[in-house]
């Protein structure tokens, strides 16, 4: 038999036995599985914490909104914005201001917009008001029940009126899943521009005025603007943080037990 070079010599005992290799692979697999589980739990905890932080930010925004609206509602009445000020109007700074305007209602231009109030289902009665300065603004004169919406019981005053109420920004498009249908004269939101176009009025203010409360024995019933805002964000934030903490603690306990095996 020929001589075997030393570099090609090896002891069979140095080769890993098949059983040893199987044990090594088997022991490594659970460790990888545990590491992956721990990583996924960490990602989920971070996501839950992020949702909690987002709700805290929403809480700050909603609290600030409520404070600003309450301040505006309690503030002295000011003149309704005229055309030069229209480009600067926005909901954040101007909605729910108490304003007043003087003018005469335009005849035969009334529009009914679907509404649900404390009095039940019915319509907002929207009427355009023409001011002495020559510009027009829609007035939400109030609510009329659905069963009485066809009654000719809403005569417009012939003389000029001074209207006081809350400034509301236009609501284009319609309600959720219910778009306005000007051709059929079906309205689900108070879209001042579309209402004006359907009545051939021309340019109008980019806002309307919710008229103040009147005698409830008369229709339409004014002063039904809801100036209350739900603010559940603190509860939502605590829920997300609690879920994150609970998941982190439970996962830590379970994974620690697994690693000790």
**Could you give the maximum distance between any two Cα atoms of the chain, in Å?**
129
Do 67 and 109 lie in one domain? The reply is no
Looking at residue 139, which CATH number applies to its domain?
Answer: 2.40.50
Predicted local confidence at residue 151, as pLDDT: 66
Q: Would residue 102 count as lying in a domain?
A: yes
- Domain hosting 203: range is 97-211
pLDDT in tens, 181-208: 999 999 999 999 999 999 999 889 999 9
Does the structure show a pLDDT above 70 at 14?
no
Of the candidate ranges 108-122, 144-158, 188-202, 229-243, the one whose mean pLDDT is the lowest: 144-158
- Calpha distance 130→136 (Å, rounded): 4
- Calpha distance 249→185 (Å, rounded): 59
Do 110 and 198 lie in one domain? The reply is yes
Do 67 and 162 lie in one domain? The reply is no
3-state SS assignment for residue 209 = strand
> What is the total count of domains within the chain?
2
Q: Would residue 86 count as lying in a domain?
A: no
Q: Would residue 56 count as lying in a domain?
A: yes
Do 113 and 202 lie in one domain? The reply is yes
Q: Would residue 61 count as lying in a domain?
A: yes
Do 110 and 206 lie in one domain? The reply is yes
Do 232 and 138 lie in one domain? The reply is no
- Please choose, from the candidates 48, 25, 29, the residue with its C-alpha nearest in 3D space to the C-alpha of residue 37: 29
Q: Would residue 233 count as lying in a domain?
A: yes
Q: How far is CA 106 from CA 82, 150, 189, in A?
A: 18, 19, 20
Do 104 and 60 lie in one domain? The reply is no
Q: Would residue 11 count as lying in a domain?
A: no
Contacts of 121-126 with C-beta under 8 Å, sequence gap 24+, read: 121/145, 121/146, 122/146, 122/148, 122/149, 123/149, 124/190, 124/220, 125/154, 125/220, 126/187, 126/190, 126/195, 126/208
Do 190 and 257 lie in one domain? The reply is no
Predicted local confidence at residue 176, as pLDDT: 72
Do 131 and 183 lie in one domain? The reply is yes
Do 114 and 201 lie in one domain? The reply is yes
Predicted local confidence at residue 215, as pLDDT: 63
Does the structure show a pLDDT above 80 at 177?
no
| More confident call, 153 vs 45 | 45
pLDDT band at 63 (very low <50, low <70, confident <90, very high): confident
Predicted local confidence at residue 104, as pLDDT: 93
Average model confidence (pLDDT) across the chain: 82
Do 206 and 135 lie in one domain? The reply is yes
Q: Would residue 6 count as lying in a domain?
A: no
| More confident call, 226 vs 250 | 250
Q: Would residue 156 count as lying in a domain?
A: yes
């Amino acid at each position: 038999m020929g001589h075997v070079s030393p570099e090609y010599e090896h002891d069979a005992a140095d080769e890993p036995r098949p059983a040893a290799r199987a044990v090594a692979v088997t022991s490594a697999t659970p460790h990888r599985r545990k590491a992956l589980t721990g990583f996924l739990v960490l990602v989920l905890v971070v996501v839950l914490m992020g949702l909690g932080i987002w709700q805290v930010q929403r809480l700050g925004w909603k609290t600030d909104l409520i404070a600003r609206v309450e301040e505006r509602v309690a503030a002295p009445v000011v003149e309704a914005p005229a055309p030069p000020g229209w480009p600067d109007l926005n909901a954040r700074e101007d909605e729910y201001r108490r304003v007043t305007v003087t003018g005469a209602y335009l005849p035969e231009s009334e529009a009914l917009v679907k509404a649900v109030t404390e009095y039940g289902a019915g319509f907002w009665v929207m009427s355009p008001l023409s001011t002495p300065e020559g510009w027009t603004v829609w007035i939400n004169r109030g609510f009329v029940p659905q069963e009485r919406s066809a009654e000719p019981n809403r005569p417009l005053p012939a003389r000029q009126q001074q209207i006081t109420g809350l400034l509301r920004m236009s609501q284009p498009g319609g309600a959720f899943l219910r778009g306005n249908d000007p051709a059929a004269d079906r309205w689900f939101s108070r879209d001042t521009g579309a209402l004006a176009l359907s009545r051939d009025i021309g340019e109008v203010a980019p806002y309307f005025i919710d008229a103040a409360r009147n005698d409830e024995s008369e229709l339409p019933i004014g002063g039904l603007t809801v100036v209350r805002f739900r603010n559940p964000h603190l509860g939502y934030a605590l829920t997300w943080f609690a879920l994150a903490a609970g998941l982190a603690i439970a996962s830590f306990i379970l994974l620690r037990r697994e690693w000790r095996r």
